[in-house]
Structure 1
Amino acid sequence: MALISDGRFIEDDWRRLADEEALPKSGKAVVSFSRLEHALAHLPGGVSLGVNVPNTTDPAALVPALSRLGLIEIAFPAFADGRGFSLARLVRRAGFTGELRASGRLLADQYAHALGCGFDTVEIPDDLAERQDESQWRAARAAYSRTYQRGYVAAGSILDARRKAAAK
């Protein structure tokens, strides 16, 4: 899997654990949503915890754990399934400030929207990374300086810019 941050391919320092795998004593570990409650109850002190959730997850189910999570990874099973974008906005509105990662079959064309919804990183399968190299992700990140949607990464929305200009 290739991890993209700020339009560049980077190394992933999070380790995914299988459901039967023991929690590590240190480092950064990602568990499945079904294992989250157990991991929170038995988490060793030196471990940063992340969770992988389906895009159908009720955001209210994550709220009690938000302050203890360093990463929420939202699954995108297909590029045409946009439910993960909605979930990301709801998780950010609920107060999550850690890394929010889109994971799955996203395209570079969806990158600006993902950032606007609150995602920090995007993880794609290697076959997609071969077809859409780093230059395409950088270009997608730079394609829009402002958006209509009030995002979490952009410098402000088009509406905000218009209101500022009208106030002068």
Structure 2
Amino acid sequence: MTLITEAGAVEDRFTRADTIEAALAVEGPVLIPLAIADEFATARPDTEFGVSLPGSAPIEDVKPHLAKASLVAVEFPAFADGRGFSLVKKIVREGFSGTLRASGPLIADEFADALACGFTEVELPETMANRQPVQQWMAAKDTMSEHYQSGYGRGPSILQKRLAARKGA
């Protein structure tokens, strides 16, 4: 897997574990499925962990874990499945201040959108990272400087800028 942030490729601090037994055997930060988060937090209350969940997960299932987890990894089954973008906006609205990871076969053209929605990093399978190297992702993140949706990205939207210009005119 290749992990990309706004600054470029980085090493992953978290070790993935799919079962509670595997998670308990990990020393250091661990990334676990949402389904075992309560059991892990009870067994290892002082261990840093992240939760992995599908983009289709209801926000109500995620909310109870946001205060404990330092990483939320939203799994994308395909680059054309945008439910993870909607979910991460809901997670941000809930006040989560940890790391938000988009994980799966995204494409570089989606990097600016991922960052604007609130993701702080993207984890790619090696097949996708080989097809679109980190340099391509870095170039793609700066291709979108304006946005129409309010609350999306940094700064005011195009509509908000137009309304402000009209008030000032």
Q: Secondary structure at the match of 2:73?
A: strand
- 1:42 equivalent to 2:37? Answer no
Contact residue 76 and residue 84 of structure 2 kept, 8 A: yes
The structure richer in strand per residue is 1
Q: What TM-score do the two structures reach when normalised by structure 2?
A: 0.89
* CA distance in 1 between partners of 2:166 and 2:69 (Å): 41
* CA distance in 2 between partners of 1:113 and 1:56 (Å): 18
- Residue pairs, 1:58-77, within 5 angstroms: 58-77=58-77
Q: Secondary structure at the match of 1:35?
A: helix
1:152 to partner: Cα distance: 5.8
Q: Report the residue type matching 1:85 in the other structure.
A: F
RMSD of aligned Cα (Å): 1.9
Q: Stretches of 4+ moved more than 6 A in 1?
A: none
* CA distance in 2 between partners of 1:106 and 1:129 (Å): 9
CA 1:152 to 1:24, structure 2 compared with 1: closer, same or farther past 3 Å? farther
Contact residue 147 and residue 153 of structure 2 kept, 8 A: no
Moved more, 15-24 or 107-116: 15-24
Q: Note the residue ranges of structure 2 that are not aligned, 5 or more in a row.
A: none
Q: Secondary structure at the match of 2:70?
A: strand
* CA distance in 2 between partners of 1:102 and 1:22 (Å): 21
Q: Note the residue ranges of structure 1 that are not aligned, 5 or more in a row.
A: none
* CA distance in 2 between partners of 1:16 and 1:141 (Å): 27
CA 1:74 to 1:25, structure 2 compared with 1: closer, same or farther past 3 Å? closer
Aligned residues: 167
1:151 to partner: Cα distance: 4.6
Q: Secondary structure at the match of 2:91?
A: helix
Aligned residue for 1:2? 2
Contact residue 88 and residue 100 of structure 1 kept, 8 A: yes
Q: Report the residue type matching 2:96 in the other structure.
A: F
* CA distance in 2 between partners of 1:127 and 1:163 (Å): 44
* CA distance in 2 between partners of 1:101 and 1:148 (Å): 24
1:7 to partner: Cα distance: 5.2
1:127 to partner: Cα distance: 1.0
1:112 to partner: Cα distance: 1.2
Percent identity of equivalent pairs: 40
Contact residue 104 and residue 124 of structure 1 kept, 8 A: yes
Q: Report the residue type matching 1:133 in the other structure.
A: P
Q: What TM-score do the two structures reach when normalised by structure 1?
A: 0.90
Aligned residue for 1:107? 107
Contact residue 7 and residue 134 of structure 1 kept, 8 A: no
Contact residue 50 and residue 71 of structure 2 kept, 8 A: yes
